[in-house]
A and B are shown apart, each in its own frame.
Chain A
Amino acid sequence: MTALIIADLWGELVAVLSTLFFALPYIAGYIGIILLTLLIWTGIKKVLRPASDYTSLKTVTFGDESTVVSNSVASVVSVVLIFVLWASFTGSSLLPGFLHAPGPFVGTGTFTYTVTTPDGRSDDAEVTVLVYPRDDEAPAPEVPPGDGFAKNDSIAIAEYRSDLLRVDQNDEIGRDEEAVVTHIDGKEIAPGETVRVDFGTVALSGRGTPNIRPSAGLQMEPIWLPSPEAVWSRLTEIATTGYRNSTLVEHLGYSLFRVIVGFTLGAMVGIPLGYAMGLSDWFRGWFDPIVEFMRPVPPLALIPLVIIWAGIGEVGKIILLFLAALWIMAIGARSGVSGVKISKVHAAYSLGASKWQVLRHVIIPNSLPEIFTAARVAMGVCWGTVVAAELVAAEKGAGMMIMVASKFQSTDIVIMGIILIGIIGFGIDMLMRAAERFLVPWKGRG
């Protein structure tokens, strides 16, 4: 039993490693681009500012994080490059054609096949393959039958697709008389083998039928990865006409609404709870087991229970987000309170402060930075949780939008949704940081 599991897991590991192995050239290529742009940038900098000033002599202490600030040029190049790669591998019209990765074969190609009968006669015939763009279906072209017992064939295939062609169907001696295809374009072939032709490959199926696979190139099919402009046009379309009976603003607004309400409730309960735990051993004892148990339970694991209890409406989601924020805020407030330097409390007491004044003027302000850190974490967790909860069950929301879209294979909507979710999550964090800088400027300066 265990041996079986181990063998299974070993197989999975091998699959993961081999996937990684095939990704290696791409990873190496990407690193190459990073180093190349670094080289170019260094060259440009040398030209712009000869290395004689003081900062060029500055040495960086490795391992000292504070001495390394991010190079904004690299950041810009990095973001632009992502879009260029995206556009290049989707054949985007935003990019001049020579920057495109090789696309799929479109047009007409031919190959010949050779049939041999059991009594040793053989004959050639030509197959004409018309590969049409996906949205532009065409019939198979008419071709003259040609001479000999093998007759010419034709087929139309959509780009990125492959197709089996029973070449013997119109032949005078076919498979039923045990005539077999032995050569493609003059190259010997047996069932299960593959031969390269001008426009792609031809393989022989187990029963001897040619499987025609026009070259797919290196570009991604829109169903896997739509081009940036397709995503953009889908964004504008959904922004105006909506998706699934709701406008885009409604979808995103519902998600945000849930996060804000859930987080606010969580903070309103969690912060006082954390204070109580930090100030009273009774409360600490009471809630420690609960908090310490609930903290490592990922909010996502609660989704099924919340759905069973509260259904898929707003209440269930807000309960979920409330729970997601609650423990984080309680723990933040608790450690904010218990992290107060005893000398500060002592100082306040010997300056004549009462217990209440110490709480009000020392312990609470001292805990604010920790509470803000917790709030940032909680906001991030809530945003992630709401999207996941909507993936499972919702009538509106960013997560629901991409989940439904994925069921209909509308990859453009999925990608658009992911980008919007990312932007909003990033925006929330930026807002929290700005609020932190404004409200607790003393953070980390005690």
Chain B
Amino acid sequence: MSDLVIDDVSMRFDLPDGGSVQALKNVSLTLKQGEIMSVLGPSGCGKTTLLNILAGFLAPTEGKVVLGDKRVKGPGAERGMVFQQGALFEWMSVRENVGFGPAMKGMPKGEKREIVDHLLGVVGLAQFKEKAVYELSGGMQQRVALARCLANEPEVILMDEPLGALDALTREKMQGLVLKLWKETGKTVILITHSVEEALLLGERLLVMAPRPGRIHREYRLPFADAGVGQDLREVKKMPEFGQRREEILSMIWEMEEEIMGGAAQ
């Protein structure tokens, strides 16, 4: 079992002017293999920092991250990342982008092509295989990014606002796709979002973070991700329980904001 264990992680950035920012403070969390968790929180509360530590782009100043029995010490193929935008390689075709991970591993051509073709089919871009990525729309590019991540067979998929730049309809389709892929592949997924609805829809678990210093504020367990698999997500949103939860979380965030603002005023 490759659980993802975040053990008392703190992160402090030293600033050039001599000061420092406590971006994360004593964050502890365990994700079981195959769980999907969404992360909500006001801007600057350390969500991206946490994800970068999980991906291995940053080393925490304290604490450690362990995946399975291996401590995270740097970026690795077992932890894939889907960025908000702009992380595709525009000098490569769609096919080459998706096949990047396998190619780096030195996978034989035939095998690689099979994987790429299959994944492009899954994300609905089969006929755009040979296009340049800059010829695709923003939503298509995000699907390529997702396929590229999946082609590498990571155990954990980390997503930093992957759907933030999309229009409402495309976004809804992509949410369905994420749920479907999560269920089919059984991967561990962490997804940062600014949309409460998206967090509710996609998170089996929902983490709400608070800023200054960045820390875990509340955690929820939600039934909607499971219910939403293969479903019309709009139907899920119409469930009375969904509305209840949304109100609950929104007012909780409001309270948190007020607390912080009050603290700042004193």
User: Assuming the A-B contacts A346-B55, A346-B75, A442-B134, are A354 and B104 also in contact, with contact meaning beta carbons closer than 8 angstroms in the complex?
Assistant: yes
Task: Give A366 to B104 CA distance when docked, in angstroms.
Answer: 17
B86 near A343 (CB under 8 angstroms)?
A: yes
Closest-by-CB residue of A relative to B101 is A351
A446 near B81 (CB under 8 angstroms)?
A: no
Give the chain A neighbours of B83 by CB distance below 8 A: 343, 346-347
CB interface residues, A 333-366, toward B, < 8 Å: 341, 343-344, 346-354, 357, 361-362, 365-366
Q: Residue A368 at the B interface, CB < 8 A?
A: yes
Q: How far is the CB of A33 from chain B (nearest CB, A)?
A: 43
Please tell me which one of the listed residues A347, A357, A445 contacts residue B87 in the complex, with CB atoms under 8 A apart: A347
B80 near A351 (CB under 8 angstroms)?
A: yes
Q: Residue A50 at the B interface, CB < 8 A?
A: no
Give the chain A neighbours of B101 by CB distance below 8 A: 351-352
A350 near B90 (CB under 8 angstroms)?
A: no
Give the chain B neighbours of A348 by CB distance below 8 A: 89, 100, 104
User: Assuming the A-B contacts A350-B79, A351-B77, are A442 and B90 also in contact, with contact meaning beta carbons closer than 8 angstroms in the complex?
Assistant: yes
Task: Give A26 to B134 CA distance when docked, in angstroms.
Answer: 49
User: Assuming the A-B contacts A346-B81, A350-B80, A352-B152, are A365 and B104 also in contact, with contact meaning beta carbons closer than 8 angstroms in the complex?
Assistant: no
Give the chain A neighbours of B100 by CB distance below 8 A: 348, 351, 353, 361
Q: Residue A289 at the B interface, CB < 8 A?
A: no
Task: Give A374 to B249 CA distance when docked, in angstroms.
Answer: 53
A361 near B87 (CB under 8 angstroms)?
A: no
Q: Residue A25 at the B interface, CB < 8 A?
A: no
Closest-by-CB residue of A relative to B160 is A343
A357 near B90 (CB under 8 angstroms)?
A: no
Q: How far is the CB of B79 from chain A (nearest CB, A)?
A: 6
Give the chain B neighbours of A347 by CB distance below 8 A: 81, 83, 87-88, 148
Produce 1/0 per residue, B121-136, CB < 8 A to A: 0000000000010100
Task: Give A366 to B152 CA distance when docked, in angstroms.
Answer: 22
Please tell me which one of the listed residues A351, A353, A362 contacts residue B148 in the complex, with CB atoms under 8 A apart: A351
Q: How far is the CB of A446 from chain B (nearest CB, A)?
A: 5
Q: How far is the CB of A365 from chain B (nearest CB, A)?
A: 4
Q: Residue B63 at the A interface, CB < 8 A?
A: no
Give the chain B neighbours of A446 by CB distance below 8 A: 86, 90, 134
Q: Residue B56 at the A interface, CB < 8 A?
A: yes
Task: Give A344 to B149 CA distance when docked, in angstroms.
Answer: 13
Instruction: Count CB-based A-B contacts (< 8 Å).
Output: 75
Q: Residue A441 at the B interface, CB < 8 A?
A: yes
Closest-by-CB residue of B relative to A358 is B104
Give the chain A neighbours of B80 by CB distance below 8 A: 350-351
User: Assuming the A-B contacts A346-B57, A351-B100, are A365 and B91 also in contact, with contact meaning beta carbons closer than 8 angstroms in the complex?
Assistant: yes
B76 near A343 (CB under 8 angstroms)?
A: no
A346 near B76 (CB under 8 angstroms)?
A: no
Produce 1/0 per residue, B88-115, CB < 8 A to A: 1111000000001100110000000000
Q: How far is the CB of B118 from chain A (nearest CB, A)?
A: 17
User: Assuming the A-B contacts A351-B152, A354-B104, are A344 and B132 also in contact, with contact meaning beta carbons closer than 8 angstroms in the complex?
Assistant: no
- Which bucket holds chain A's interface residue count? 20 to 34
Q: How far is the CB of B14 from chain A (nearest CB, A)?
A: 18
A441 near B152 (CB under 8 angstroms)?
A: no
A351 near B104 (CB under 8 angstroms)?
A: yes
B104 near A445 (CB under 8 angstroms)?
A: no
Task: Give A366 to B86 CA distance when docked, in angstroms.
Answer: 13
CB interface residues, B 152-200, toward A, < 8 Å: 152, 154
B91 near A350 (CB under 8 angstroms)?
A: no
Give the chain B neighbours of A357 by CB distance below 8 A: 104
Task: Give A344 to B57 CA distance when docked, in angstroms.
Answer: 12
Give the chain B neighbours of A368 by CB distance below 8 A: 91
User: Assuming the A-B contacts A344-B87, A365-B91, A446-B86, are A352 and B104 also in contact, with contact meaning beta carbons closer than 8 angstroms in the complex?
Assistant: yes
Give the chain B neighbours of A362 by CB distance below 8 A: 89
Task: Give A421 to B157 CA distance when docked, in angstroms.
Answer: 59
Closest-by-CB residue of B relative to A364 is B91
Q: How far is the CB of B232 from chain A (nearest CB, A)?
A: 32
Please tell me which one of the listed residues A352, A365, A442 contacts residue B76 in the complex, with CB atoms under 8 A apart: A352
B134 near A350 (CB under 8 angstroms)?
A: no
User: Assuming the A-B contacts A343-B86, A368-B91, A446-B86, are A350 and B77 also in contact, with contact meaning beta carbons closer than 8 angstroms in the complex?
Assistant: yes
Give the chain A neighbours of B132 by CB distance below 8 A: 441-442, 445
Give the chain A neighbours of B56 by CB distance below 8 A: 349-350
CB interface residues, B 65-80, toward A, < 8 Å: 74-77, 79-80
Task: Give A346 to B83 CA distance when docked, in angstroms.
Answer: 10
A350 near B89 (CB under 8 angstroms)?
A: no
B81 near A344 (CB under 8 angstroms)?
A: no
Task: Give A350 to B52 CA distance when docked, in angstroms.
Answer: 11
Please tell me which one of the listed residues A341, A343, A344, A353 contacts residue B104 in the complex, with CB atoms under 8 A apart: A353
User: Assuming the A-B contacts A346-B57, A351-B77, A442-B134, are A341 and B89 also in contact, with contact meaning beta carbons closer than 8 angstroms in the complex?
Assistant: no
Give the chain B neighbours of A353 by CB distance below 8 A: 100, 104
Closest-by-CB residue of B relative to A344 is B87
B86 near A350 (CB under 8 angstroms)?
A: no
Task: Give A441 to B91 CA distance when docked, in angstroms.
Answer: 8
Produce 1/0 per residue, B36-60, CB < 8 A to A: 0000000000000000100111000
Task: Give A362 to B105 CA distance when docked, in angstroms.
Answer: 16
Task: Give A368 to B89 CA distance when docked, in angstroms.
Answer: 13
Give the chain A neighbours of B87 by CB distance below 8 A: 341, 343-344, 346-347
B104 near A350 (CB under 8 angstroms)?
A: no
Give the chain B neighbours of A361 by CB distance below 8 A: 89, 100, 104
Closest-by-CB residue of A relative to B151 is A351
30 contacts between A and B (CB under 8 A): A341-B86, A343-B83, A344-B86, A346-B52, A346-B87, A347-B81, A347-B83, A347-B88, A348-B89, A349-B56, A350-B79, A351-B77, A351-B100, A351-B101, A351-B104, A351-B149, A351-B152, A352-B104, A352-B152, A354-B104, A362-B89, A365-B91, A366-B91, A368-B91, A440-B91, A442-B132, A445-B132, A446-B86, A446-B90, A446-B134
Interface positions of B (Cβ within 8 A of A): 52, 55-57, 74-77, 79-81, 83, 86-91, 100-101, 104-105, 132, 134, 148-149, 152, 154
- A-B interface, 10 closest residue pairs, ranked by CB to CB distance from nearest: A352-B77, A445-B134, A349-B75, A351-B101, A442-B90, A365-B91, A343-B87, A347-B87, A350-B75, A353-B104
Given contacts A344-B89, A348-B89, 5 further A-B contacts (CB under 8 A): A344-B87, A347-B81, A347-B88, A348-B104, A352-B76
